[in-house]
């Protein structure tokens, strides 16, 4: 059981079309704590019928919601924001229990997730159209911005709350409705959010949280013509599949997919700052974020100093249950995730990698893995091409800006990049040369609601957060009025 101040925030029912429901056939799936293996509870296994119902109710509710003023919609989003923050401790505890991240990180995610509600509560009031100087006598030309309509979202387990508000926030702010399929590893965070949305006064049917069989739910979301937009955060292979499935009904689509972030330590970097930044970027959420440093490139002139300082810090990071004070690295989400890291380490060592610290499953057992640093890494290794999604850092040596830019960009992905340098010419050369949607300069983490998040190449389509994040939920309508006596 999860110890909560408000136990009513823990529900084992799904939220479909404004009602709390079980599966019609009573089918459920267990949810486990990745740190202990303990069964936290179950959630209903729903399928196409539930999604179709949620979409039908959403369609009706959205027609009324879009007629409300932006100010009215904003007030409800702000009330939801307030309730999320008032219940931050409980929402964090639910997340740590089902996802594993340390409690401080989980509570941090609640604040990050809530910031999207706060941001888009305001942005929704600034969805301006245009009046355009006319092209002909007797005519007037204008542009209206209108909500897309019923949207669907499929979200991952690594940020179980923020990945929903980063989508539902803008959608609801501009007058859309949102049907969400959360990851079955972390459904309780999504359901707790819906409880608070209901308490905030969000009209029934505008938000649904449909737990259940991913392929079936995804099929209804992508094939139902009433769904006008699909937004997905998760792996690139699944993103490709969903993109194909949306083609027959020509849906708008937003995809936040996989990454393979280069983290570059230049010869003129502040090494201590670079060590701190690389720790933050690589080991946040035990390395389970799509913007984690995945390949660390270190200039030959500072390679030994950086490697020694970095490995020493990494070796000190406490590993354990996210509820324990001081724990920095929690468990990976499941055995499959641990095996992936284990295989990448073995591959790296077989190709000349030298383990500086870690390299094995943690003595705690289960899905804990030692924070790992591997020196002498090279581009022949699997980790050069494949996202680790775990606490393993390969250090690759480079000798020039041109060489490291070529290696950094040698990837099908282009989500985030990072580099440390104090030379203004080099900063501009690398910031403009790196092929990624996010570039961190002398920073290791840059998550914020005020800036656009999204990838180049096969890391995705569209942007979330910032003023750009609202456009994906709007249609642009050109209105031409004739017959005017000028
Ligand atoms: N760009 C970004 O912001 C993010 C990208 N990711 C990427 O996702 C991967 C890890 O997260 P996972 O949750 O394992 O990814 P995943 O792609 O397996 O799952 C993501 C979501 O998609 C659902 N899903 C899986 N197969 C589906 C199907 N055939 N039809 C409909 N829904 C389906 C899952 O149930 C889950 O809700 C990594 O590659 C990571 O880089 C994860 C989080 C954020
Ligand atoms: O899913 C993720 O990895 C997040 O999008 C990363 S961030 O938004 O927290 O930077």
- The yes-or-no verdict on residue 71 having pLDDT over 90 is yes
Percentage of residues in the chain with pLDDT exceeding 90? 100
Quickly state the pLDDT bin for 238 (edges 50, 70, 90): very high
pLDDT at 132: 98
Q: Is residue 443 a contact partner of residue 419, using CB atoms and an 8 Å limit?
A: no
pLDDT tens digits for 177-207?
999 999 999 999 999 999 999 999 999 999 9
- The yes-or-no verdict on residue 458 having pLDDT over 90 is yes
pLDDT tens digits for 95-143?
999 999 999 999 999 999 999 999 999 999 999 999 999 999 999 999 9
* Exposure string for 232-259, b = 16+ CB within 10 A, e = fewer: bbbebebbeebbebbeeeebbbbbbbbb
Quickly state the pLDDT bin for 68 (edges 50, 70, 90): very high
Q: Is residue 459 a contact partner of residue 257, using CB atoms and an 8 Å limit?
A: yes
Distance of CA 402 from the midpoint of ligand 1 (Å): 34
Mean pLDDT value of segment 344-373 = 97
Q: What does the H/E/C string look like for 397-466?
A: EECCHHHHHHHHHCCCEECEEEEECCCHHHHHHHHHHCCCCEEEECCCCCCCCCCCECCEECCEECCECC
Say yes or no: CB of residue 34 within 6 Å of ligand 1. no
Write out the two tokens for 112. 């990050």
pLDDT tens digits for 37-60?
999 999 999 999 999 999 999 999
- The yes-or-no verdict on residue 1 having pLDDT over 90 is no
Tell me the pLDDT of the chain averaged across its residues. 98
Distance of CA 285 from the midpoint of ligand 2 (Å): 10
H or E element at residue 345: helix 335-350
388: nearest Cα among 453, 252, 295, 264: 295
Protein residue closest via CA to atom 7 of ligand 2: 447
Mean pLDDT value of segment 52-79 = 98
Protein residue closest via CA to atom 10 of ligand 2: 447
pLDDT at 456: 98
Helix orientation angle between 70-86 and 187-199, rounded to the nearest 10 degrees = 120
Protein residue closest via CA to atom 8 of ligand 2: 447
Report the nearest atom of ligand 2 relative to the CA of 233: 1
Sheet holding 207-209: strands in order across? 19-21, 14-16, 207-209, 177-181, 150-154, 227-233, 252-256, 460-461
Cα distances (angstroms) measured from residue 78 to each of 151, 260, 448: 21, 35, 18
412 is catalytic: no
- The yes-or-no verdict on residue 400 having pLDDT over 90 is yes
Percentage of residues in the chain with pLDDT exceeding 70? 100
ipTM: 0.95
Report the nearest atom of ligand 2 relative to the CA of 465: 8
Distance of CA 447 from the midpoint of ligand 2 (Å): 7
Say whether 389 sits in a helix, a strand or coil: coil
Cα distances (angstroms) measured from residue 147 to each of 128, 144, 432: 12, 10, 34
Say yes or no: CB of residue 446 within 6 Å of ligand 1. no
Say yes or no: CB of residue 389 within 6 Å of ligand 1. yes
H or E element at residue 16: strand 14-16
Mean pLDDT value of segment 331-344 = 98
The alpha carbon of 114 is separated from its chain's Cα centroid by a whole number of angstroms, namely: 14
pLDDT tens digits for 21-30?
999 999 999 9
Say yes or no: CB of residue 291 within 6 Å of ligand 2. yes
The maximal CA–CA distance of the chain, rounded, in angstroms, is 83
Say yes or no: CB of residue 156 within 6 Å of ligand 1. yes
First to last CA, the chain: 73
Give the span between the Cα atoms of 479 and 386, in whole angstroms. Answer: 48
User: For 13, phi and psi rounded to 5 degrees?
Assistant: -115, 155
Cα distances (angstroms) measured from residue 118 to each of 11, 270, 280: 25, 35, 26
Quickly state the pLDDT bin for 8 (edges 50, 70, 90): very high
Q: Which of the listed residues 447, 451, 463 should we mutate to test ligand 2's pocket, taking the one with most ligand atoms within 8 A of CB? A: 447
Q: Is residue 225 a contact partner of residue 250, using CB atoms and an 8 Å limit?
A: no
Say whether 318 sits in a helix, a strand or coil: coil
Q: Is residue 146 a contact partner of residue 475, using CB atoms and an 8 Å limit?
A: yes
Say yes or no: CB of residue 257 within 6 Å of ligand 2. no
């Amino acid at each position: 059981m999860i110890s909560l101040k408000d136990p009513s925030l823990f529900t084992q029912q799904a939220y479909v079309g404004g009602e709390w429901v079980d599966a019609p056939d009573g089918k459920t799936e267990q949810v486990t704590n990745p740190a202990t293996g303990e069964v936290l509870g179950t959630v209903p296994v729903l399928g196409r019928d539930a999604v179709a119902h949620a979409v039908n109710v959403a369609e009706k509710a959205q027609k009324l919601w879009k007629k409300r003023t932006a100010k009215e919609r904003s007030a409800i989003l702000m009330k939801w924001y307030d309730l999320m923050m008032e219940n931050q401790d409980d929402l964090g505890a639910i997340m740590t229990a089902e996802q594993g991240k340390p409690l401080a990180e989980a509570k941090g995610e609640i604040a990050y997730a809530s910031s999207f509600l706060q941001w888009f509560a305001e942005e929704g009031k600034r969805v301006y159209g245009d009046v355009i100087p006319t092209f002909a006598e007797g005519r007037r030309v204008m542009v209206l911005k209108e909500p897309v309509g019923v949207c669907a979202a499929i979200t991952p387990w690594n940020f179980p709350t923020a990945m929903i508000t980063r989508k539902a926030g803008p959608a609801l702010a501009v007058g859309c409705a949102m049907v969400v399929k959360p990851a079955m590893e972390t459904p309780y965070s999504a359901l707790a959010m819906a409880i608070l949305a209901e308490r905030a006064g969000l009209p029934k049917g505008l938000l649904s949280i449909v737990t259940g069989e991913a392929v079936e739910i995804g099929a209804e979301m992508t094939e139902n013509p009433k769904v006008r937009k699909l937004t997905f955060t998760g792996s690139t292979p699944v993103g490709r599949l969903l993109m194909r499935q949306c083609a027959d009904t020509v849906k708008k689509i937003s995809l936040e997919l996989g990454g393979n972030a280069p983290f570059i330590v230049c010869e003129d970097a502040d090494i201590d700052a670079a060590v701190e930044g690389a720790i933050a970027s690589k080991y946040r959420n035990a390395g389970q974020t799509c913007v984690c440093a995945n390949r660390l490139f270190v200039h030959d002139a500072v390679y030994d100093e950086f490697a020694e300082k970095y490995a020493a810090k990494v070796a000190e990071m406490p590993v354990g249950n996210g509820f324990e004070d001081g724990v920095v690295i929690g468990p990976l989400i499941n055995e499959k995730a641990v095996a992936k890291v284990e295989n990448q380490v073995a591959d790296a060592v077989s190709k000349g990698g030298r383990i500086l610290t870690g390299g094995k499953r943690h003595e705690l057992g289960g899905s804990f893995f030692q924070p790992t640093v591997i020196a002498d890494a090279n581009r022949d290794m699997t980790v050069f091409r494949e996202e680790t999604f775990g606490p393993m850092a390969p250090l690759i040596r480079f000798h020039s800006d041109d060489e490291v830019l070529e290696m950094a960009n040698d990837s099908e992905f282009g989500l985030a990049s990072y580099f440390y340098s104090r030379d203004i010419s080099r900063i501009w050369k690398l910031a403009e040369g790196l092929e990624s949607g996010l570039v961190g300069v002398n920073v290791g983490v840059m998550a914020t609601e005020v800036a656009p998040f999204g990838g180049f190449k096969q890391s995705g389509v569209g942007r979330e957060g910032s003023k750009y994040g609202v456009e994906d939920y709007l249609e642009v309508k050109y209105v031409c009025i004739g017959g005017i006596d000028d």
